[in-house]
Amino acid sequence: MPQSADRNRRVTLTTYPKGEPSPDVLRLETGAVPTPGEGQMLLRTEWLSLDPYMRVRMYETDSYMPSVKLGEVMVGGTISRVEISSHPDYVKGDLVQAYSGWQDYALSDGSDVMIKLPQDARHPSWFLGALGMPGFTAWYALTHLGKPKAGETFAVAAATGAVGQIIGQLAKRQGCGVVGIAGGARKCAYATGELGFDACVDHHAPGFPEQLAAACPKGIDIYMENVGGAVLDAVRPLFNNGARISICGLIAHYSGGGMDGADRLPAMLSETLFKRLKIEGFIIFDHYPAYYSGFVSEMTALIDSDEIKVREDLVGSLEAAPQGLIDLLHGGNFGKVVVKVA
């Protein structure tokens, strides 16, 4: 129950950044704790997820989701505790995965709640990562788009990040040869040493395209596109006939980088034609009703039996979240980024 002295810390968007954002595009404010009306709940944020899509939500014009309006609280997935409820499906004390955004308290009518966490959830923040949107993205893309067969070569960039660490481990379990691409020797060593990838290539290293080609002697059959840019330039010539490519994310371009340079689209399209590639974009939110609960059961069992490892990168406070997002956009994170809010 919030005390009368409690204030609601909230981080709002001050401006639509052009190019790479700086921390001052986000401002920390305090306000009153809101009071729930009939059918509503008051949620208190315990954990906040930081994710690349947040940069896209800072665009001035809507993309696949509406932009955050100036002065509004920044969007974000949260693990939140129900403090007060007049909602029939939730009681005080329930822990939910919601979309309360970057703030301590939020009202909810339940429509933004993705899941009520199990009472015995060992590690609630995992429902923002391996058991949440990024893990579900990895599972969906591999199972429904990649359709892996044993012996095929699977490649993923941002290999130790929230999506990459899970999809690579799942592909390995399907008998694929797994090649990661990551920023720096430390991340690559983690991918091969801890996550069990067969190889991992540092995209910052000189000779990266040649090293990637050497790591994929049989070409690439399945590619999870997480970044675009120079990484895609190195991956593209390695596609085998009939390769399956999931266009999951293009983080290298989210702040406009590379969009006004040499146009790579014609090369990509001719590769698609000549090699009969199947390229499919997807947004994971479309697939929650059909698959999410089955995914959670399957992934929980894999984590509990230590068949899937989980790595988080902790940001210690809401105040540190703006810099945490900027670090994430530049590869400064090592694992799924979660903010300890309360």
Ligand X SMILES: NC(=O)c1ccc[n+]([C@@H]2O[C@H](COP(=O)([O-])OP(=O)(O)OC[C@H]3O[C@@H](n4cnc5c(N)ncnc54)[C@H](OP(=O)(O)O)[C@@H]3O)[C@@H](O)[C@H]2O)c1
Name which of 98 and 251 has its Cβ closer to ligand X: 251
From its phi and psi, is residue 334 left (phi > 0), alpha (psi between -120 and 50) or beta?
Answer: beta
Name which of 90 and 223 has its Cβ closer to ligand X: 223
CB of 282 vs ligand X, minimal distance in Å = 6
Among 77, 134, 148, 177, binds ligand X (CB under 6 A): 134
**Residue 254 contacts residue 329 (beta carbons within 8 Å):** yes
DSSP string, 121-153: -S-GGGGGTTTSHHHHHHHHIIIIII---TT-E
**Residue 244 contacts residue 147 (beta carbons within 8 Å):** yes
Give me 213's structure tokens.
């080609």
Nearest residue (beta carbon) to ligand X: 161
Q: x/- binding map, residues 66-105, to ligand X, per CB under 6 A?
A: ----------------------------------------
Among 185, 283, 290, 301, binds ligand X (CB under 6 A): 283
Q: Which residue reads 């509990």 in tokens?
A: 304
Give me 175's structure tokens.
């008998």
Q: Is 214 exposed, middle or buried (0-12, 13-18, 19+ CB in 10 A)?
A: exposed
CB of 66 vs ligand X, minimal distance in Å = 16
Angle at 302 between CA 154 and CA 136, to 5 degrees: 60
Among 183, 295, 315, 322, binds ligand X (CB under 6 A): 183
Q: Which residue reads 């989701």 in tokens?
A: 65
β 26-32/95-98 pair status = unpaired
Stretch that binds ligand X, among 76-84, 88-96, 119-127, 282-290 (CB under 6 A): 282-290
Among 235, 243, 251, 296, binds ligand X (CB under 6 A): 251
Cα distance between residue 140 and residue 248, in whole Å:
11
Stretch that binds ligand X, among 20-28, 92-100, 116-124, 162-170 (CB under 6 A): 162-170
**Residue 67 contacts residue 75 (beta carbons within 8 Å):** no
Q: Which of residues 32-71 bind ligand X (CB under 6 A)?
A: 51-53
Among 178, 252, 308, 321, binds ligand X (CB under 6 A): 252
How many binding residues for ligand X (CB under 6 A)?
Answer: 33
Binding interface with ligand X (CB under 6 A)? 51-53, 133-134, 137, 157-158, 160-164, 182-183, 187, 203, 226-227, 229, 231, 248-252, 282-284, 328, 331, 333, 336
